[in-house]
Amino acid sequence: MAIKSQLLLSLLVLALSITCNNASFVRRGKNHTQTMSTGKAYKVLITHPEVPQEGIDLLKENCELIQVQSLPTNRAELLQKIRGVDGVLWGGHEALNAEVLDAAGPQLKSISTMSAGIDYVDVPEVKKRKIPLGHTPTVLNTAVADLAVGLLIAAGRRFHEGRRKIETDNWENYHLNWMLGQDIRDSIVGFYGFGGIGQAIAKRLSGFDIDQVLYTTRRRVHKEIEQELNAKKVDFDTLLAQSDFVVIASPLTADTQGVFNTTAFNKMKETAVLVNIGRGKIVNQDDLYEALKSNKIFAAGLDVTDPEPLSAKDKLLSLDNVVVLPHIGSATKRTRAEMATIAAHNVLRGLVGEPMLSPAY
């Protein structure tokens, strides 16, 4: 499934690049078409200095590009450069809200983020102004899924604690029951959120001879996917009670915020491992700290935290049984290039009033 969908996606990207390169990128005025003094039809802001060249090359054929140079993003520079642009490729995770939309002006007609999650976007504000909004799911599924499997193994098999044992001269493998971890073989893996990323993780885990996949989502996934992944939809309490590994692969919304709290941890197995590659705020981090410290659950592997960046002094980092990464799920060169490519196509399509490749709403 994953290979097929990657292939399809590559074909789609190729097809789109042909369409977009041939499209007539003339500015659509009320009665006339016009181009700018630069000869380019549209002005597009790229809000990050490190957006991969693949995306920039696509845009620059038909658009005059302006780019934010500061890093971390200087809000004043962003607000000044966004004035009067037709499109925006939103490269970072800064708040995209009424302030920036007001600064841009009413001519703004196309925005795409370079991320799957859009919790930093005030979507109702964008919608209210009828501006098409794109994002970049799918292309990062494999990179995030690979990392999630890594976290699941690292937390379940105590990688971080093991490293600490060495660093503190406490290597005690003369004990037969030293550093024993959790088996993935024959385990039940529960997914909170089971879209493309969750399914890509389950697909990878099928190679580890797991017993069963459970998932909690609002809507049931297709029967064929359930069959292929040996997956069964269950309610949240069942997911918590039965899973040996619980993987959070859901977006952050008003409904998902803080759902993993003490009440939830108390319903999990004491041997359970929690993995979060969704968003930090889905977990109440103080409650997670208590659950890990008191061994209410076995371990956690987190690529996302609350806040980000997490302070080096955060109490979570004092624990042996948590593996924490600095939100690097999609951080591979190829994935970043593909994200920039999809985001650029989204922007170009929005500019000419065509449906975006991956619309956010």
Q: Which residues are catalytic?
A: 327
Among 108, 329, 347, 350, binds ligand 3PY (CB under 6 A): 329
What sections of the chain are H helices per DSSP?
A: 2-22, 53-60, 75-81, 98-104, 123-128, 141-156, 159-167, 196-205, 223-229, 236-242, 262-267, 285-293, 333-351
Count of residues of this chain found to bind ligand 3PY when the rule CB under 6 A is applied: 7
Q: Is 195 in the site for ligand 3PY (CB under 6 A)?
A: no
Structure tokens at 321: 């049984």
Among 65, 85, 104, 140, binds ligand 3PY (CB under 6 A): 140
Distance CA 152, CA 283 (A): 17
Question: Which residues make Cβ contacts (< 8 Å) with residue 275, sequence separation at least 6?
Answer: 148, 151, 152, 155, 245, 246, 247, 248, 300, 301, 302
CB of residue 312 to ligand 3PY, shortest distance in Å:
21
Task: Please give the radius of gyration of the chain, using alpha carbons only, rounded to the nearest integer.
Answer: 23
Residue 225: exposed, middle, or buried by beta-carbon count in 10 A (0-12, 13-18, 19+)? middle
Span 106-125, contacts to ligand 3PY by CB under 6 A = 115-117
CB of residue 196 to ligand 3PY, shortest distance in Å:
12
59 with 346: CB under 8 angstroms? no
Among 47, 142, 330, 358, binds ligand 3PY (CB under 6 A): 330
215 with 190: CB under 8 angstroms? yes
Q: Is 340 in the site for ligand 3PY (CB under 6 A)?
A: no
Q: Is 144 in the site for ligand 3PY (CB under 6 A)?
A: yes
Span 262-321, contacts to ligand 3PY by CB under 6 A = none
Q: Between 193 and 329, whose beta carbon lies closer to ligand 3PY?
A: 329
Cis amide linkage into residue 309, ω under 30° from 0: yes
Q: Between 268 and 360, whose beta carbon lies closer to ligand 3PY?
A: 360
Q: Between 117 and 134, whose beta carbon lies closer to ligand 3PY?
A: 117
Q: Between 210 and 325, whose beta carbon lies closer to ligand 3PY?
A: 325
Q: Give the residues lining the site for ligand 3PY (CB under 6 A).
A: 115-117, 140, 144, 329-330
